[in-house]
Structure 1
Amino acid sequence: MPGAYSGAPRQRRNAQGKYMKIDIERFGLKEVSVDPETVFTFAEGLAGFAQCKRFKFFHEEGKPTVFWLQSLEQSDIMFPIVAPDMLDIEYQIDLSDADCALLDLEKAEDAAIVVILYRNETSGIAANTRSPLILNLKSRKGMQKILQDVQPKVLYRAR
Structure 2
Amino acid sequence: MQIVTPRFGPIEVDESTIITFPRGLPGFEHCHRFKLLHEESPTPIALWLQSLDDTEIVFSVIEPARLAVQYEVALSDEESALLNVKDPADLVLLLLLLRDIENTTEIKANTQAPVILNTASRLALQKMGMRCQLVFSE
TM-score, normalised relative to structure 1: 0.77
Distance in structure 2 (CA, Å) of the matches to 1:48 and 1:25: 21
1:66-81 to structure 2, matched below 5 A, reads 66-81=46-61
Provide structure 1 residue ranges, at least 5 long, that are not aligned to the other structure.
1-19, 155-159
Offset at residue 106 of structure 1 (A): 1.3
Offset at residue 64 of structure 1 (A): 1.0
Aligned residue identity for 1:104? N
Select 1:138's aligned residue among 117, 120, 130: 120
Provide structure 2 residue ranges, at least 5 long, that are not aligned to the other structure.
none
Alignment of 1:112 onto 2:80: no
Select 2:77's aligned residue among 91, 97, 120: 97
Residue aligning to 1:82: 62
The one-character-per-residue Cα deviations of 1:77-130 (angstroms, maximum 9, x if unpaired) are 000000001111101010111111000011110100000000113271000111
Aligned residue identity for 2:46? V
Instruction: Give the structure, 1 or 2, with the largest relative contact order (CA under 8 Å, sep 6 or more).
Output: 2
Question: Hey, which bits of structure 1, 4+ residues long, moved more than 6 A?
Answer: none
Distance in structure 2 (CA, Å) of the matches to 1:93 and 1:139: 18
User: How many equivalent pairs are there?
Assistant: 131
Offset at residue 32 of structure 1 (A): 1.0
Alignment of 1:127 onto 2:109: yes
Offset at residue 66 of structure 1 (A): 0.5
Residue aligning to 1:25: 6
> What is the aligned-residue identity percentage?
41
Alignment of 1:60 onto 2:42: no
TM-score, normalised relative to structure 2: 0.89
Aligned residue identity for 2:14? D
Q: Which has a greater percent of strand?
A: 2
Distance in structure 2 (CA, Å) of the matches to 1:149 and 1:83: 15
Q: CA-atom RMSD, angstroms?
A: 1.7
Offset at residue 138 of structure 1 (A): 0.2
Offset at residue 23 of structure 1 (A): 1.1
DSSP 3-state at the match of 1:90: strand
The one-character-per-residue Cα deviations of 1:34-86 (angstroms, maximum 9, x if unpaired) are 11100000000001000000000001223711000000000100000000011
Distance in structure 2 (CA, Å) of the matches to 1:148 and 1:87: 16
